[in-house]
Structure 1
Amino acid sequence: MDEGRSNAEAFAIQDIVIAPGTTADLAIPVSQQVGGFSAKLSLRVLHGKEPGPAIFVSAAVHGDEIVGTAIIQQLAQTIDPLRLAGTVILAPAVNIFGFLAHTRYLPDRRDLNRSFPGSKRGSLAAQLANCFLENVIERCSLGIDIHSAAVHRYNLPQVRIASGDPYLVELAMAFGAPVIIESPLRDGSMRELAAERDTPILLLEAGEALRFDRLSIDIGVSGVTRVLAHIGMIEADDGLTSVGIPARANKSSWVRAPRGGVTHRHRKSGDVVHKGDLLGTVGGLFGEEAMDMVSPIDGIVIGHATLPVVNQGDALFHIAEVANLEHAGDRIGTITEAILASQPKGPAQPLLDEDEVI
C-alpha cells in the first residue's frame, strides 16, 4: 500500500483541513441546478490518529443503487478515527441527482460510471466524474465501490475485480463475499480510471435497486471492516480464519425466458446448480403450455429477476461458472489456502451490467 497519500498530521481536501483523530463532513460543489442552487458531492472524512493509507468507500454511482448508502451509514457510525491508522473517505450518494430522482442516470441521461475521467467544462456527468476523481480517487490508494442489480433484479453479494491482479484477489478474499468474479474493465468506468492511476478498486454488487436487504448490508459492512483490518488500518481480528472460501468465476451465463407469460422460480440467488437442473417454469396467463428453464452450466446463481411477468427473451437467471464447487463455503485458515482452492479456469469474459443485457 502507498502510505504517502495519507498524513498523520493533517489531511486536506480543497480548503478543508482535517486534524488527526477527527471526522469532517464536506459538501463539495459540482454544478449549478436549474433553480440556481449548487449541487454538491457529500463526503465524510475519517482521518486516523496514526499514519496509514487513504481509502474510499462509495455508493450510488448509479443513483438508484442505494444499498451501499445503508452500508456506509453503518460504517460511519462504527469507524473510530482515534483507533484508525490512515484515512477513510465515505461517499454515500455520489450521483446525488439520480439518488434524489430514484433513477440510475443523471439529468443529462448519461451513465456516471461510463463518464470517467470527465472534465470541469464537460457535461453534468463529466463534471461530477471529474469532481470525484480530483477530490477522492486521486487522494486514495484503494477504493471500494458499492453497486446493486437493476430494477426488478437481485444480485447475490459478490465482489467484482479486474482480472489478473493478485493483490485484488487477496483483498477480495479478505472481503469475504460469497462470490468473486474477475472480468475485464469497462471503458469510462471508475475502475478503469482508477487502475490507470494505480488505485485498485473492489466493486461490491449486492441486492436490488431502490431496496435495502439485511444480507447485503451485513456482508458489505463486515467485508469493508475485514479489508480495513487486512491492510492494517484497524486493530481487529480480520476474520480470515472463519470466512468460507468464496467461489471464484470469470465466466457467466444468462438464462432467458423461452416464452412470454408468468414465471415460477425453483431456484434463487445463492443456489448451487448443475447443468440440467430445473431453475423455473414460465407459462401462459392460465399456466398453460408451461416451459422449463434449466441451467446450462455448473455454477452458482448470482442474480435473478424478481418480476414474475416476463416477455420472451427476458434474462431471468444469472449463473457464474465456478470451478471446485465442492469447496464453496468451506472454512479456510489463510488467504493463500483460499486462493489455491478456488482458482477459476480459462480467460476472463466481459461482464455486462444488468440493464445492458440484451
Structure 2
Amino acid sequence: MIKLISKTALLSVFVAFSMMKSQSVKEILNQEGSFRKDTIFSIKSDSKETYLPVTIIKGKEKGSVFTIVAGIHGYEYPPIVAVQELLNEIRPENIKGSLIIIPIANVESFQKRTPFINPLDGKNLNTAFPGSSNGTPTDQIAHLITKEIIPNSTIFLDIHGGDASEDLLPFVCYYNRKDIPENTKKAHDLSLKSGIQYVVSYSYTLTPTEPAKYAFKEATQQGITALSIEAGKLGTVQKDNVDLIKTAVYNMLENSGNSVKRKSKMVNQKSIVLLNQQDYIRVPEDGIFYSELKSGDKVKKNQILGYITDKFGNKKHDIVSQTNGIILYKVGTPPVNKGETLFCIGYNE
C-alpha cells in the first residue's frame, strides 16, 4: 500500500538533515564507493520553513572537491537551468574526486519569482554571508553554506546572471587575494580556461573578522579557491548563456582534474579580455532611466551614458562615465531607485 506524505510532513522529516548537523556533508563525502546522493537541509525560523537542496557526486578515484552553486538569486534563470542540465548529464563514473552541487540556493525566491530577495524575510542572500545559525531563513541559508559547504570545498564556483532588471555581459571573476597567491593563481587559471572571453579580477581588502557578504568572497576569506560566473540577463532564459555556463563548468572541471571525460569545448574563442578595476555608477535620484547603451558597449571618460527623468518626463540628471572601459552590467529597465548600481564599467589600470 502506497502512503502519500504531505509537504508539511516532508518538511518535518527534513529537520533530520538540520543545518546544525555540521558534519553531514563531510560524512557523505567520506562514504566509500562511487555514488550520487541528493540531500535536503531543512531550515526553520519562527513559523517560516524552507530548505536547501544539495547533490553530492563522488567518483571512484580520490581527488579535490569542486562545489557549484546556482540560484543565490532565484530570478537569475540561466545559471539555474544550466545546473539542472548538468545534474542530468554528469555521472559519478566520469568524476575524479567529488562534486558538491547546490542547484537552487534560494528556493523561495525561485518559486515566488522574486528578484534579489528571499520573500520569506525580504533579505538578499548575496549580501548575507557569513549568516547566522539562529537568524531569519536567509541568514540560516548563508550560515549553512558558510559552515557546511565552503569548508568541505577545494574549489568554490558561484554562478550568477542578470536579475530581472539587469542587462549583463557574460564574464568570469575572482578576488585578487595577494596573501594567498596560489589560490588567486588557480582562480585566474580556471577563469582563463573557462572559455569565457571577459575575465574580471576584484581587489580584496577584507580583514579576517569582516563579513564577506558574498558567497564566493566568503569562500575566498576562508582560504578556498573561489570564483564566479556571470551570464544571462533581464530575468529570462537564453539558450546561448545556458550553453556558455555549461561549457565553462565542463572546462573548469577538466582543468581542475575533476572530470575524467571531456564533455564539451569552446571553439573559436575570442581573445581574452582582462579587467582588473571597476567603476560603479549609482542612481542619484528615483526616476525613469533612459539609455541607448547595452552591456558590452565600450565607453569613454566624460561620455553621457543616459539620463534620468521624473514622473512628468522632466530631465533631472545626465549620467556621465568617469572612465574609459566596457559596460559589464547596467540597469536594463526604466525604473531606477536612488543608490542602486546603474552601471558597472570594467577597465584596466
Q: TM-score, normalised by structure 2?
A: 0.74
State the number of aligned residues. Answer: 310
1:105 aligns with 2:100: no
Once the two structures are superposed, the pairs formed by residues 56-205 of structure 1 within 5 Å of their partners are 56-101=67-112, 102-106=114-118, 107-163=120-176, 164=178, 165-185=184-204, 187-189=211-213, 190-205=215-230
Corresponding residue to 1:30 among 43, 57, 66:
43
| In structure 2, distance between residues paired with 1:177 and 1:315 | 24
Change (3 A) 1:192 1:261: closer
Offset of 1:292 from its aligned partner? Answer: 7.4
Match of 2:346 in 1: 320
Match of 2:254?
Answer: 229
Q: Give the conservation status (yes or no) of the 8 Å contact 1:177–1:223.
A: yes
- Aligned residue in 2 for 1:303: 329
Work out whether 1:248 is the aligned partner of 2:269. Answer: no
In structure 2, the CA distance between the partners of 1:59 and 1:319, relative to structure 1 (3 Å rule), is same
Judged with a 3 Å threshold, the aligned counterparts in structure 2 of structure 1 residues 237 and 243 are, in CA distance, closer, same or farther, namely: farther
Q: Secondary structure at the match of 1:57?
A: strand
Say which SS state the counterpart of residue 231 (structure 2) adopts.
strand
Q: Which amino acid aligns with 2:346?
A: A
Residues 280/123 of structure 1: CA separation in 2 closer, same or farther (3 Å cut):
closer
Q: Which residue of 2 aligns with 1:46?
A: 57
Residue 15 of structure 1, CA deviation: 6.4
Q: Of the candidates 238, 242, 245, which is equivalent to residue 220 of structure 1?
A: 245
Q: Deviations over 1:22-74 (max 9, x none)?
A: 22211122225627xx5221012221122211111101223333332112112
Does the Cα contact within 8 Å between 1:263 and 1:310 map onto a contact in 2?
A: no
- Kept in 2, the 8 Å contact 1:264–1:308? The answer is no
The farther-off stretch of 127-136 and 218-227 is 127-136
Q: 1:284 to 1:124 in 2, by over 3 A?
A: closer
Structure 1 pair 207–132 and aligned structure 2 pair: CA distance change class (3 A): same
Q: What do residues 156-214 of structure 1 show as CA deviations (whole Å, max 9, x unaligned)?
A: 11122112422221111112323222223573332333223321211122223632223
Q: Check conservation: 1:19, 1:47, Cα contact below 8 A.
A: no
Q: Residues 172 and 198 of structure 2 are in contact (CA less than 8 Å); yes or no, is this contact kept in structure 1? A: yes
CA contact under 8 A between 2:73 and 2:163: conserved in structure 1? no
The two structures, once aligned, show a CA RMSD in angstroms of 3.5
**AA of the residue aligned to 2:125:** L
Question: SS of 1:136's equivalent?
Answer: helix
- Offset of residue 77 of structure 1: 1.9
Q: Which amino acid aligns with 1:13?
A: V
Which residue of the other structure, out of 267, 281, 290, is the alignment partner of 1:263?
290
Q: CA contact under 8 A between 1:66 and 1:209: conserved in structure 2?
A: no
CA contact (8 A) 2:165 2:235 kept: no
Greater CA drift, 279-288 or 62-71: 279-288
The structure 1 segments of at least 4 consecutive aligned residues displaced by more than 4 Å after TM superposition are 14-19, 237-242, 254-262, 274-296, 309-316
Q: Distance in 1 between matches of 2:343 and 2:219?
A: 31
Could you tell me whether the CA contact under 8 Å between 1:168 and 1:200 is conserved in 2?
yes
Percent sequence identity over aligned pairs: 24
> Aligned pair in 2 of structure 1 residues 221, 284: CA closer, same or farther (>3 Å)?
same
1:67 partner amino acid: P
Q: 1:109 to 1:264 in 2, by over 3 A?
A: closer
User: AA paired with 1:178?
Assistant: Q
- Of 5, 9, 13, the match for 2:25: 13
SS at match of 1:149: coil
- 1:117 CA displacement: 2.9
**More divergent stretch after superposition (106-115 vs 142-151):** 106-115
Q: Mean alpha-carbon deviation: is it higher for 100-109 or for 66-75?
A: 100-109
Quick check: 1:56–1:143 contact (8 Å CA) kept in 2? yes
Matches within 5 A, 1:344-355: 345=349
| Cα offsets for 1:250-301 (capped at 9, x unmatched) | 2233557899656251x32123344466755778999998997665433222
TM-aligned CA distance change 1:137 to 1:276, over 3 Å: same
Flag the 1:20–1:210 CA change in 2: closer, same or farther, 3 A.
farther
